[in-house]
Amino acid sequence: MKKTRRSRKKFFVAVFFCLVVFFIVLYFCIGFYFYNYAIAKNEKNFMKNNSKLPSNDSSNAVTVFSSNEDWTRNVKKSSEEIKSFDGLKLSATSFKQLDESCNKWIIVVHGYASNQVRLYDRAQAFFKKGFNVLCVDCRGCGDSEGDYMGMGWIDRLDVIDWAKKISCDYKDSKIALYGCSMGGSAVMMAAGETDLLPKNVLCVIEDCGYTSVWDIFSFQLKEQFNLPSFIFLDSLNTVTKFRINLDIKEASSVNQLKKSKLPIFFIHGDADLFVPFKQIDELLKASEHLQKEVYIVKGASHNNSFDSNPSNYMNKVLSFLEKHFNLQN
């Protein structure tokens, strides 16, 4: 009898141990699957032909805003590079006015799984209004190094480094941060780093950014897989913390805005189904202490507010910049 009981006990202990190992392995398999799906640099097939997104064909981006000619070939431009805090080579393109006394700069930050070319239409619009423009490739995108995307949180430090480069190269520069989608969250997150940002960063313009990485992943997990955030996002977070030192629970535009001192202009389409339009309410609440303006674009889908009415969009953005750059009409 005693041997039988001992055998049963050993059996149940072995079964329990195997189950624990199985669930640990499963936990990490889930985390690595979603890391590869959402964070790693690879083809994001779920972004293609997505009815909740406007066309994201960057090859056509330079002709979206105007004209019959490629404006980037007819302006003064330079390839730029910096080393990130963790040793990656980051790339950007600067478009500078012929008037070398121009000290007005816009840093343009693109969205998820995209590149700087996707926002050349905005860059052209800013350039034509007399601004120098720096279009960056976020880590893991375009010509920048990196095998993952920073989801705005890690990118916030890269944005700050780009601002520092402009401040160093052009001592009297006035800088605004402009970003769309993930880039919008990156500039909001950067705005909260009050001790790191150069003093000549004067304001922020964010278009369809999300409240936090956790919130946007939770929403997309439900939309695409009909899965809860519990366990699934926790497992992803374990992997991102281990692999790239990204805590997606910490990566919050809302919390960063609460620390910010910079004026901010919020833009969002009320038909956005990719970054839910309702997220802007939480962003506005977090920025109650800030000078802010809001532009809600009726009927605009995700990152489509500019294309919906470029002239009206730029008039509102320029009006905001005039207040904080003290520009002449």
The residues with which 108 forms a beta bridge, in sequence order, are 135, 178
Instruction: Taking the CA atoms of 131, 132, 138 and 141 in sequence, report the sign of the dihedral they define.
Output: positive
| Amino acid code (one letter) for 22 | F
Mean pLDDT, the chain, whole residue set: 91
3-state secondary structure of 295: strand
> What pLDDT, in 10s, does the model give residues 149-194?
999 999 999 999 999 999 999 989 999 999 999 999 999 999 999 9
pLDDT bin (cut points 50, 70, 90) of residue 196 is very high
- pLDDT exceeds cutoff 50 at 59: no
Residue 48 contacts by C-beta under 8 Å, 6 or more apart in sequence?
A: none
Distance CA 150, CA 153 (A): 6
> What pLDDT, in 10s, does the model give residues 236-270?
999 999 999 999 999 999 999 999 999 999 999 99
pLDDT at 208: 98
- 8 A C-beta contact, residue 125 and residue 133: no
Q: Go through the domains of the chain in sequence order and give each one's CATH number.
A: 1-40+213-249 (no CATH), 65-212+251-329 (3.40.50.1820)
Max Cα-Cα span within the chain:
96
Residue with tokens 């189950």, as numbered in its chain: 19
pLDDT at 15: 84
Between 14 and 84, residue with greater pLDDT: 84
Find how far residue 265's CA is from the centre of its chain.
16
pLDDT at 16: 84
Q: Of all helices (H) and strands (E), which one includes residue 265?
A: strand 264-269
3-state secondary structure of 14: helix
Distant-in-sequence contacts of 80-86, Cβ < 8 A, 24+ apart:
80/134, 80/165, 82/158, 82/161, 82/162, 82/165, 84/139, 84/157, 84/158, 84/161, 85/157, 85/161
pLDDT at 65: 45
DSSP secondary structure, 127-146, as one string: HHTT-EEEEEPPTTSTTS--
Q: Of all helices (H) and strands (E), which one includes residue 34?
A: helix 2-34
